Amino acid sequence: MPTSALVLPGDRQCPVLIHVPHASRVIPAEIRADLIPTDVELAAELDESTDTATDEIAAAARRHSSLRPTTVVNTLSRLVIDPERFTDAGEPADVFGRGAVYTRTCAGRPLRTEPYPRAAELIDAYFRPYADTVTAAVDECLHACGRAVLIDLHSYPATASGFEDRSAARPALCIGTDRVHTPAWLTEAVRGAFTSLPEIDRIGENTPYAGSYVPLRHYGRDERVVSVMIELRRDVYLTDPRTPDLARVDRLGRALATVIDHATAQVAANV
């Protein structure tokens, strides 16, 4: 089955996979037909929801790293499906209409009808093939290198969305960690690589977002898969919601490449 996951292969000796799930604004016409907002309203929702240019930061990191990481980029908007949500009743964002298939906007207004009758169809058509592709890419890193280091790359607006905790700190860089899958050395590698950048005046951990993506096949089971989430506040590198500052994107990509090189060396020394 076709998938929206674009896989850019890395060097075989590199255990790192960069995951870019929310960079696209593309919504197929048959999906757009079910969305309630007007075109103007939808454009504003995409400005707020899209992790603009995180794919460009990942591309810069591939250029600057000693060994290229594998990169998986979602080529469709998260308004089609969100590949990082759970599909069962355990998904906490469901209460805001922001589960695997969104039914509400960032401000809580209707995005799709509730309940949405095509949700299961979209999960089968888009969510599951995407998840299978990411899992296969992680498995390939495990096969080649003995471990996989997943860097989950995101961004967020400077002002909290309607469904978010407005009291949570919103630092220039949020490092998301998982109790099982994020070793201290990986957190410190991210902190060390980004802390000297002029754009990064403050680094937080698990605020305003917490955790890091691991495919379900490995989550909580396979400690050979390690993961860290990098969340950049968008004003750090965007001049407006749709326009990246290319010099800043390149600097952030160089910092991410430093993390990749450190992770590659760490895995090679400890496998």
CATH code of the domain in which 225 resides: 3.40.630.40
- The whole-angstrom separation of Cα 267 and Cα 271 is 6
* Within-domain flag for 115: no
Assess if residue 56 is contained within a domain: yes
Express each pLDDT in 194-247 by its tens digit.
999 999 999 999 999 999 999 999 999 999 999 999 999 999 999 999 999 999
Q: What is the predicted pLDDT for the residue at 92?
A: 84
Residue 1 has pLDDT above 60, yes or no: no
- Residue 197's domain spans which residues? 5-36+47-85+125-270
**Is-contact 234 129, C-beta < 8 A?**
no
Using one digit for the tens of pLDDT, what is the confidence trace for 66-91?
Answer: 999 999 999 999 999 999 999 987 78
Q: How far apart are CA 52 and CA 8, in angstroms?
A: 19
List Cβ neighbours of 55 (8 Å cut-off, separation of 6 or more).
20, 23, 24, 73
Q: What is the mean pLDDT of residues 43-53?
A: 98
**Residue 271 pLDDT exceeds 70:** no
**Would you say residue 90 lies in a domain?**
no
Beta carbons within 8 Å of 92's beta carbon, 6+ residues apart: none
Q: What is the mean pLDDT of the chain?
A: 96
Please answer whether residues 56 and 249 qualify as being in contact, where contact means their C-beta atoms are separated by less than 8 angstroms. Answer: yes
User: Has residue 234 been placed in a domain?
Assistant: yes
* 44 has a pLDDT exceeding 70: yes
For 156, phi and psi rounded to 5 degrees?
-150, 155
d(CA 261, CA 246): 22
118 lies in some domain: no
pLDDT at 105: 97
Domain count, the chain: 1
Burial of 228 from C-beta contacts in 10 A (0-12 / 13-18 / 19+):
buried
Q: Which residues contact 222 (CB under 8 A, 6 or more apart)?
A: 142
- Whether 112 shows a pLDDT value over 90: the answer reads yes
Compute the distance between CA of residue 231 and CA of residue 170 in angstroms, rounded to an integer.
10
pLDDT reported for residue 90: 78
Q: Do β-strands 148-156 and 225-233 pair in parallel, antiparallel, or remain unpaired?
A: parallel
Rg value, the chain, Cα:
18
SS3 220: coil
Residue 89's pLDDT is what? 74
Would 190 be classed as within a structural domain?
yes
Under 8 Å CB-to-CB from 183, ≥6 apart: which residues?
A: 226
- Phi, psi at residue 76, to the nearest 5°? -115, 155
Residue 170 has pLDDT above 90, yes or no: yes
Asked if the structure places residue 29 within a domain, the reply is yes
How confident is residue 60, by pLDDT bands cut at 50, 70 and 90? very high
Q: In this structure, is residue 51 part of a structural domain?
A: yes
Who's near 229: CB < 8 A, 6+ residues apart?
Answer: 152, 153, 154, 174, 175, 176, 177, 209, 211, 212, 213
- Per-residue pLDDT reduced to its tens digit, 15-40: 999 999 999 999 999 999 999 999 99
pLDDT band, residue 152 (cuts 50/70/90): very high
Q: Where residue 3 falls among pLDDT bands split at 50, 70, 90?
A: confident
User: Which 8-state DSSP code applies to residue 110?
Assistant: B
pLDDT at 187: 98
CA distance 118 to 146: 40
